[in-house]
Amino acid sequence: MGSSIPIPSNFTAKKDAILASLAVAEPSYRDLSPKGSVDEAIRPLIERINALEGVVTTSSCAGRVSVFLEGSRHAKPKGNRDDAGEAHGGLKEQATVPGGKGMGGRWLFVSHSPVHFPTRGDSLASQLGMCHQHELYDNQNAIEGSQVRFARFQFEPMILHIMTASLHHAQPILAAAINAGFRESGIQSLKNLDDVNAFPMVAIRSSGLALESIIGCVPDRVKDTSKVGSDGEDYVNNKDVHSLVSESYLNLLLNVADDRFKSNTERMRRFESDLFEREATKSSNWEGSKTRQERKRAEGLKQQEEVRKIKAQRGSLSPITGDENLYTDQAALSAG
């Protein structure tokens, strides 16, 4: 990728460090994601991308279904991550905190593949990490209050961050992502281009497939004062997370998420196909500066020979003695 563009040595050092970390075998490998490792569904794509020159993945997620319990709105941020990406190579990414996320929030349930629970057994609410008591919350007053913490069902499509050695390396990746349907993709870190250690980062994402719904809560009155952390967070058990919706609604959400997993997988395949078709075309068409000079010289000599042949056929035109005569005789031929 971008073979004619020099790759800074500090980029190469960063890429080598990330690849060395990814090469660590499980269970020794750990990253900052809830799962703690790279999704198997996206690993082949990551390996193909990382084999290209001038690019390296820094975080990824193949897509996931999750139930996330918000943190306390009054707790101090602890750095818990609730983005969709798993950081590669130990690189840290900024935690997000809307609605209390990153402030003591935690996952009640996470799956990186479509969810199909057994038809018999515990309720869907309990399998998603909650207590099935939605009937208790028909009264609006029960879920009001400044301390209420909501549980959110989410489907998040693929997210991929790719660090690039230059904008020339970033452009084909961004084009392939947008063409594949990841229309909210973009290039980050542009304000830091004067920093020799900062490189353009392509963020591949799509909000069109995302799904989010509040399905449970820890009501305002639930507070275990015997388990208050140093950050002020109130630790609650799963039995304190009460479902706000019916089992049929939870089943509907899971079915919708299943369909979106399929669409997400198709977009991933389109992105991979488009990106590597572009790379194949660039590789076959690329030529170095010396090769280009030789090609242009050969083309010029061939053109001069063709003009000489035309002159010889007409017999009335004077021989060509230089480039200036060539251009003059070509103009005369065009006019005549």
CA distance linking residue 79 with residue 83, whole number of Å: 11
| Mean pLDDT, the chain, integer | 78
Confidence tier at 73 by pLDDT (50, 70, 90): low
Mean pLDDT, residues 258-287: 85
What pTM was estimated for this model as a whole?
A: 0.70
pLDDT of 84 above 60: no
Above 50 in pLDDT, residue 98? no
The answer on pLDDT for 321 being more than 70 is no
What percentage of residues in the chain have a pLDDT greater than 70? 66
Q: How confident is the model at residue 330 (pLDDT cuts 50, 70, 90)?
A: very low
Structural contact between residues 185 and 174, judged by C-beta atoms closer than 8 angstroms: yes
Among 84-98, 105-119, 164-178, the range of highest mean pLDDT: 164-178
Residue 273 has pLDDT above 80, yes or no: yes
The pLDDT of residue 71: 84
Q: How far apart are the first and last CA of the chain?
A: 47
Average pLDDT over residues 193-209: 87
Contact 224, 236 (CB under 8 A): yes
Task: Give me 183's structure tokens.
Answer: 């229309």
Closest CA to 288 of 3, 8, 7, 53: 3
Q: What is the pLDDT of residues 210-258, one digit of tens each?
A: 999 999 988 765 554 445 444 444 556 777 898 999 999 999 999 999 9
Q: Output the CA angle 248-250-253, nearest 5 degrees.
A: 110
The whole-number pLDDT of residue 304 equals: 85
Contact predicate 102/96, CB 8 Å: yes
Given this model, what pLDDT does residue 96 score?
Answer: 37
CA distances from 223 to 44, 96, 151, 163, 226 (A): 45, 25, 16, 44, 9
Gap between the Cα atoms of 78 and 110, Å rounded: 20
pLDDT at position 91: 54
Tokens read off for 316? 């009335």
* pLDDT at 163 (0 to 100): 96
Task: Give the dihedral of Cα atoms 156, 209, 67, 109; nearest 10 deg.
Answer: -60
Q: Is the pLDDT of residue 335 over 50?
A: no
How many CB atoms lie under 10 A from the CB of residue 330? 16
Q: What does the pLDDT read at residue 292?
A: 62
CA distance 271 to 274: 5
